[in-house]
Structures are given as structure tokens and as C-alpha cells.
Amino acid sequence: MIWDHRACELGEGAFWHPERGQFWWFDILKGVLHSRDGAEGISFALPEMVSAMGWATPDIAVVAGESGLWRVNLGDGSHRMLAPVAAGQPATRSNDGRADRQGGFWWGTMGKRGGGDPGFGAIWRWHQGRVRCLFPGLTIPNSICFYPDGRTAYFSDTLTHKVNRVALDAEGWPLGAPQVFLDLTAEGLLPDGATVDAEGCLWVAQWGAGRVARHAPDGRFLSAVAVDAPHSSCPAFGGPDLTTLFVTTAREGMAPEALVACPDAGKVFALEGAGRGLPEPAVRL
């Protein structure tokens, strides 16, 4: 079902705040952070494109933007720069991101022309007050999420059709080179945002396919849930018992006739009983 009727140009960054009991998401291209308080819509405009978040306290979030990480007050939208990153501005922006289970925050940056900027992308990590580039030379970094024990990270470079995994040490830093976890090349599927459920299964949105697919910890396809919009972009489990799957979608790149045929593109969908998620860990500031 449609959970929110505001249509985003590029809806992304689906996030359930476990302390506030509140769902948040972004319209990247408009630089807006959205939420709802009951039936009332909330929107905070930030000074640049923003795309992903983690929570530090009930009122303070860490938000990935074009020029680095922002510290954002979720009560009034006030914000200040936390950690600037020289990722190639003004040619680049942030994309997918998520907190790890060691108190850090991972996020991707990419060229503003998407696939037209090969190699402009990278994945970064904030941890204990410093930022480090983990994986440079990507194009569209996505699917950032973590196994329940915190010792494995997942990420994709969307246009490769592959989701990778990499082992992490006790502090959450990568150990060795990433390995391919999931190869969707044969199906022509494009992995976008992702999350991991309480059973350790990966749920990955597939851009252009209008669905979120669930894969076992060994990579086997288990099932998929559909939304009524082709560009499914990011899933997140939420609700009081974390059994509602929220899915952001986008209108970006759709022709006028496609938008007429699919008027719900760009809206947020909520699917009840799809699975059970895990609470998002806090980012340590």
C-alpha cells in the first residue's frame, strides 16, 4: 500500500528511527528530508543534495550530503557540517548509506551524471571522529548494510549487477578484498538500496524491476515483494515490531507517458508482514 503520497523525484535513504518510532526518507535531487508525525507530513530542506542517515540520539541524526556528513536536529531541521569530505564536488553527490554495528557510518558518493561518470564513486566510513575512504573507483555505490553480528558488510556498484560482501574486524574496518555475494547479471537486475533482516537475509531493492528481493545468507533467492512503481530504490523495516517493510521509489528518468501509466512512482510504500527487521544501531559521535 502507499504509505505517503508525496512523490519524490529520487526517493532514497529509507530509515526507521528506533528511538523515535518514526520513518524518514530523502528526495535526493531536491535536498529534502521527509518524515511524518501521524498524518502530518514533515519536510526539512538542507543546503545540498542529501541521501542517507543514521541516528545518534533521539533528536540528532547523521546525514550524508554532497560535501560530507551533516549533523541534523530532527526536531526542527537545524543542521551543521560534521565532517567535510573532498569527494569531487561539485561533480559528485552522496548516495546510499547506513550505520554499522560498531558505531560507525558508511555512505557512498557518486558522479551527478550517474552511469555517465564511471569511476567517480567511492564508499566512505565515519568512525570515532574521522573519515576514511574504503572503496574508491566505483560508479554508483549502493546496497550498504551489515550482517546481524556486525562482522560482514554488503555493498554494490549498481551497474555491475553485483552485490559484494567483505569481512570486518572488531572495530568494523574491512578485512581483505570484497568478494561477490550476489551476481544478477544473467537477469539484468540492478541492485539499489538494501537491508538485512533478523534472520540474516539480504533484502535488496532492484531499480527498474519494481520489487525488493530477499536472499539467504548464502545468496540463494528466496522471495520478492512488488511495489507499484518501477524504480524501487531502498527498503527499511519499521513499525512497532519491525515487521513493516517500507520502500522508497523514484520518478527520475521516467518518460511522461510512463508517469501517466504509473502515477504512484516516487511515493513511499509500506508492506505489512513481509519479514522482521533489526533495530538500526546508533552512530557514536
Residue 282 falls within a domain, yes or no?
no
Contact 196, 145 (CB under 8 A): yes
The residue range of the domain holding 114 is 2-272
Contact 159, 190 (CB under 8 A): yes
Residue 278 falls within a domain, yes or no?
no
Q: Which CATH number belongs to the domain containing residue 98 in this structure? A: 2.120.10.30
Give the pLDDT of the chain (285 residues) as one tens digit per residue. Answer: 999 999 999 999 999 999 999 999 999 999 999 999 888 999 999 999 999 999 999 999 999 999 999 999 999 999 999 999 988 889 999 999 999 999 999 999 999 999 999 999 999 999 999 999 999 999 999 999 999 999 999 999 999 999 999 999 999 999 999 999 999 999 999 999 999 999 999 999 999 999 999 999 999 999 999 999 999 999 999 999 999 999 999 999 999 999 999 999 999 999 999 999 999 999 999
Residue 187 falls within a domain, yes or no?
yes
Residue 285 falls within a domain, yes or no?
no
Marked catalytic residue, from 4, 27, 96, 192? 192
Query: What Cα–Cα distance (Å) separates residue 270 from each residue in 50, 53, 187?
Result: 22, 19, 26
Give the C-alpha separation, 184 to 159, whole Å. 10
Q: How many separate domains does the chain show?
A: 1
Residue 277 falls within a domain, yes or no?
no
Q: Is 264 a known active-site residue?
A: no
Residue 91 falls within a domain, yes or no?
yes
| Burial of 220 per CB tally in 10 Å (0-12, 13-18, 19+) | exposed
pTM above 0.95, yes or no: yes
Residue 280 falls within a domain, yes or no?
no
Is 37 in a helix, a strand, or coil?
strand
